Each structure stands twice: as C-alpha cells, then as structure tokens.
Amino acid sequence: MLVIGLTGGIGCGKSTVTQLFAQYGIDIIDADVIAHKITQPGTPAFAKIVAHFGKKILRDQHLDRRQLRDIIFQQAPEKRWLEALLHPLIINLIKQQISKAKPPYCIVAMPLLLESPRVDFIQRILVVDIPVEQQITRVMQRDNISAAQVQAVMQQQVSRELRLQRADDVLDNSGSLEQLTQQIAKLHQRYVDLSVRA
C-alpha cells in the first residue's frame, strides 16, 4: 500500500484535491474529519476538553469549535495542550484506516503534516500550492473574512517555501479547476505505477 500525505496552507485547495482523487475511487483519510469525530459528546477527548476549559466551551452541549479555535489561536500553551491530547489519537486512527484502505494507494489529508512528528507511515508528500496573494483572496471569499484574518492564520503555518522544499510532488492550483483536474489525472497514474513497484 502506497500512502500519500496531502498537505498545503489554508485555502490552497486540499479539500478540492481530495474530492478529485476520490473520483478515482481512492480512499481518503482526512485528519480533520477524524479530529471532529473523536471530540463528539460522549468521547473521552470531549470529556477532557470540557474538564480543562470548563463548561463555557460548550454550545448546545457540543464543543463550540469557533471559540476553541480562537482560544488556541491566541494562547500557545492551550494549543500545545490540545494538540498533545488529540494528536496521538488522530495518528492512531489514521494508521488504523491505512491498514483497512484499499489498494493501490490511499491519501492522508493532513493540514499539519509538516509540523507533526511520527508521520513515518507516509511515503510521499504531496503539496497543493498557490501564491500567497491568491491564497488570501480565495480564503477571504470562501470564509467572508478580512485579509488580515487570513494572514494571521498563515503566520501560524509553515511557509510556502518550506512546504515546497519538503514536497515530493506539487500540484499547482493557481489555474482553473480544469487544469487542476488534468494534473490530478497524471498524478493518479503516477501513483498507480509507483504502487506496483512499492
């Protein structure tokens, strides 16, 4: 089983890319989806988060994710606390899902791939890339927020240069969706070929 790690900065197109790969029947393992599932009411992680932050972190008995995001955005120790809780759980579940994924290859979509230790289950890093200015305008449009808000998030992520340095493969998503689709068709074939040799 060939395991591809997909990453990219906010708004570069990770979700768009995973949808396109899914059309080939490729299994997509999404770290964000896993993070969401393991923090639903009734889970051990949910209980620990409520115990740590207090009931004020709840909204309609669920985690108020927006509030939680704001807290960890502004307070690095809280961010580290939450990551220390969730990261090992997420990694274990990713490994479990990889073991059940169908050949020839699967994609693990992980925003924090390059920041994470213990991602040795990934064989190739695929980066979705767009210029910084385009990243800002796309996220402003999608989330209806200001340029400054987008830039604040980008500052907490690794730089575009570092991402590109670490990449085995790069998808240039600065063009049309059609151009992206064509690049993915080629890359899919490449991964199928690589998986035969793996």
Ligand X SMILES: Nc1ncnc2c1ncn2[C@@H]1O[C@H](COP(=O)(O)OP(=O)(O)OP(=O)(O)O)[C@@H](O)[C@H]1O
Q: Which alpha helices (H) appear in 101-146, and where do they start and end?
A: 132-143
Candidates 3, 8, 28, 184; binder of ligand X (CB under 6 A) is: 8
Hey, which bits of 24-75 come out as E strands?
27-30, 58-59, 62-63
Binding of residue 15 to Mg ion (CB under 5 A)? yes
Strand segments, DSSP code E, in the chain are 2-7, 27-30, 58-59, 62-63, 105-109, 124-129, 169-172
C-alpha–C-alpha distance, residues 53 and 71, integer Å: 10
Q: How many residues bind Mg ion (CB under 5 A)?
A: 2
Between 47 and 141, whose beta carbon lies closer to ligand X?
141
What's 101's DSSP letter?
P
Q: With CB under 6 A as the contact rule, which of the stretches 47-55, 57-65, 68-76, 169-177 interacts with ligand X? A: 169-177
Does 58 participate in binding ligand X (rule CB under 6 A)?
no
Nearer to ligand X, 49 or 111 (CB): 111
Find how far residue 82's CA is from the centre of its chain.
16
Residue 138 near ligand X by CB under 6 A: yes
Using the rule CB under 5 A, is 16 a contact of Mg ion?
no
Q: How many residues can be counted in the chain?
A: 198
Can residue 13 be called a binding residue for ligand X (CB under 6 A)?
yes
When the beta carbons of 61 and 144 are compared against Mg ion, the nearer one is 144
CB of 196 to ligand X, least distance (A): 29
CA–CA dist 150, 173 (Å, integer): 18
Closer Cβ to ligand X, 5 or 11, answer by number: 11
* Interface with Mg ion (CB under 5 A): 14-15
